[in-house]
Amino acid sequence: MTSRSFGVIDLSWWQLSLALGLVLVVAAISLRERLGLERDLLFGAVRTIVQLYLVGLILAAVFSAARWYWVLLILVAMAAIATHAAVYRLAKPIPGVYWIAATALTLSTAATLTYVIGMVIEPRPWWEPQYLIPIAGMILGNSMTSAALAGDRLQSDLFARRDEVEARLALGFSGRDAVQPLVRAALRAAMIPTVNGMMTVGIVQLPGMMTGQILAGASPLTAIRYQIVVVFMMAVATAIGIPAVRATRGGPIFDSRTSATAVPTLSWSTL
Amino acid sequence: MLFPEHMRDAIFQVEHLSLVYPARRGQAAARILDDVSVDVDRGSALILVGPSGSGKSSLLRCLNRLEEPTTGVVCFDGRPIPEFDPRELRRRAALVLQTPVLFEGTVRDNLTVHAPDATLDVSERRLREALTEVGLDGAMLERDAAVLSGGERQRVTIARALLRDPTALLLDEPTSALDPPNAILIVETICRLRDTRGLTIVAVTHTPELVRRLGGALLYLVKGRVQAYEPVNDGGVIDERLQAFLAGTHR
C-alpha cells in the first residue's frame, strides 16, 4: 500500500485511520476523567479531516492551474479568514475592530511577503504557489494570534484600567492619548510570544515548516535556512501590524459624536 | 428656581437631561436619568444625594462629557458644552474620582502630568502652593506617589486639578474611600477652596459633614428622577423625603 514519491512516504487511507486511533485514546481519557470533551473532540476530528481535505483539493487545483490570479484569490481569502479568527472571540466588541484587524493583517502580510518573496527567496515566477501560499499562511497565522492577543488585552484593560483612563480624560487628555498606555501594553503583549519564540526556536520543538521540509526530504541545513527567514519574517510582520494599528489612529475606539478627542466609546458604564 | 432670574449667574445649567442606555445583548434599555433640570451658580455648591443607582454619578459625568446625555442640554458658563473642546471643558470642570488615580512616578510627576499635545507651565512655587492649598507639605513633591496614604492620594488629585485653574470641581464621593479623620481633612480642604478660590462645587456625597459645611443646594435623585431640590439652610432641609434620606445617612 505504501508508495514512495519524491522520497516521501505517501500515507494511505488505512494509515490515516490508524492516526484516528490517537483521537480515540484522547476520547477514552476524557471519558474516564470526565473532562466532558468527547463531543468537541469528535467534532474537532471530523472538522480537521474535512477542512484539510478541502484545502488539499483546492491547493492541488490552484497548483495545477498555475495562474497568478488564483493564487492571489487564495491569499485574500486567507487574510479574510485570519481577520475573522483574530477578532471573533472578543467577549464584547471593540468598535471598528474588524477594520483595525483587517488593516493590520493585510498591510503587515503584504509588506513582509513582498520583501521575502521579492528579495529573499525570489521564486520564478514570483507567484509560484508552492512558495507564496505556505509563506503567506505562516505570516498570517502568526499575525492573527498576535492580533487576537492584542485585542484581548486591550479589551480587558479597557475595563480593568477604566479609572486610569477616565482620570486622564478628566485631566484634559484626548481619548486617544488617554488610552495610549493601554494600547502600548496590548501591542507589547502581542509581540511577546514572537520574541520568546525566537529564543527557543528549534530547541524546544522543531518549527512546523522545518519539520515539513525535513519530512519532505530536504537537508536539515536547507530547512534551518528557511526557518531563519521565517522567524524574522514573523517578527517583522507582527511589528508592522503596530504602525498599521496606529494608522487607523485608534479612531474607531472613540465616539463619533464627540470626534477623536472625546468619550471612550465603550460607553463605559453600560459594560 | 431658587433665586429670581435676574440675580443668577449660573455656571452649569442643566435642562431636561435624560440619559438612556440602549438595550444590548439581552439587557433591557436602562433609563439612568429622567428629565433632570438644575442650575448651579458661580461660586456655589450643589450636592447630589440619593440611593445608589439613582444616577448621581451619571449626572456628574454629564457635566464634563464623560457621558453624553440622550436628550437635554447642559450649558457651562453660558454655552452648551458640545461647543467646547472636551479637553478644555474637562480642565475647567475638573473631576475628582472616588478612588484617587495616581500614575507611576513622584508626586511632582503626578501634578505635572499632561497630554502629549498640551503644555502645563507651572513654576516650582505654584506646585508647592497647590500642595499647601490641599494641606500637604511642599516637601512632598519628590515622594513616590505609590507610598502615599489614601487621604494624601486624594489630596494630590485635588491639587492636580487645581493646577489647571478650574472654574468648577466635580467631586464623585471624594471622601467615601477614606477613614473619618482623613474624610474630615478632605471636607475642610474642599470648603476652604470654595471660599478662597470661589470655586463652584458639584459633589456626590453621603458625608453629612460635607453637606452641612458646603451649604448650597441639595438635589435628591431617585431612579434618575429629581425627588427634591432645595437650598440647605444651616444643614437643615424642609422636604420630608430628603429629611428621611439624610436621617438615614446620619445614622
Residue range B149-203, pLDDT digits in tens: 988 999 999 999 999 889 999 999 888 888 888 888 888 889 988 889 889 999 9
Pair (A95, A155) in one structural domain: yes
Query: CA A244 to CA B109: how far, in whole Å?
Result: 31
Cell of A59: 491547493
Rounded Cα gap, residues B74 and B214, in angstroms: 23
Contacts of A75 (CB under 8 A, 6+ apart): A132, A133, A136
Q: Which residue of B has its CA nearest to A181?
A: B103
Q: Are both A257 and A138 inside the same structural domain?
A: yes
Longest dimension (CA), chain B: 55
Q: Burial level of A43, CB count in 10 A (0-12/13-18/19+)?
A: exposed
- List, for residues A200-245, the tens digit of each pLDDT value: 887 877 788 888 888 888 898 988 888 888 888 888 888 877 766 6
Residue A144 sits in the same domain as residue A262: yes
CA distance A193 to A146: 8
Using a CB–CB cutoff of 8 Å, tell me whether A91 touches chain B: no
Asked if A263 and B99 come within 8 Å (Cβ–Cβ), the reply is no
Instruction: Say whether both A101 and A31 belong to one domain.
Output: no
Name the β-bridge partners of A228: none
CATH 3.40.50.300 is right for the domain spanning B5-250: yes
Same domain? A16 vs A97: no
A164/A244 same-domain check? yes
Q: Complex ipTM, two decimals?
A: 0.84
Q: Is the pLDDT score of A271 beyond 60? A: no
Q: Sign of the CA dihedral A25, A28, A34, A37?
A: positive
**SS3 labels along chain B:** CCCCHHHCCEEEEEEEEEEEECCECCECCEEEEEEEEEEEECCCEEEEECCCCCCHHHHHHHHCCCCCCCEEEEEECCEEHHHCCHHHHHHHEEEECCCCCCCCCEHHHHHHCCCCCCCCCCCHHHHHHHHHHCCCCHHHHHCEHHHCCHHHHHHHHHHHHHCCCCCEEEEECCCCCCCHHHHHHHHHHHHHHHHHHCCEEEEECCCHHHHHHHCCEEEEEECCEEEEEEECECCECCCHHHHHHHHHHHC
Cα gap B15→B36, rounded to integer Å: 7
Into how many domains does chain A fold? 2
Q: Which residue of B20, B21, B63, B87 to mutate against A (max A Cβ within 10 Å)?
A: B87
Q: Are residues A44 and A84 in the same domain?
A: no
Model pTM score: 0.76
Match 472616588 to its residue by C-alpha cell: B98
Tell me the pLDDT tens digit for each residue of A143-190.
888 888 888 888 788 778 888 888 888 888 877 788 888 888 888 888
pLDDT at residue B25 is higher than 80 = no
End residue of a domain, out of A65, A83, A106: A65
Q: CA–CA separation, A7 vs A114, rounded Å?
A: 31
Residues A138 and A185 in one domain: yes
Residue B80 and residue B158 in contact, taking contact as beta carbons nearer than 8 Å: no
Substitution target from A92, A169, A171 for chain B, most B beta carbons within 10 A = A171
Interface of B with A in 95-154 (CB under 8 A): 95-97, 99, 101, 103, 113-118
Boundary of a domain, candidates A46, A65, A84: A65
Boundary-marking domain end, from A65, A92, A117: A65
Tell me the pLDDT of chain A averaged across its residues: 80
H-helix or E-strand spanning residue A211: helix A208-215
Spell out which residues of chain A touch residue B21, defining contact as CB-CB under 8 Å: 267, 269-270
* Domain encompassing residue A77: 67-270
Instruction: State whether A121 and A195 are in the same domain.
Output: yes
Q: Considering chain B, what percentage of its residues have pLDDT values greater than 70?
A: 92
Phi first, then psi: give them for residue A30, nearest 5 degrees: -60, -45
Q: Assess contact for B187 and B213: CB atoms under 8 A.
A: yes
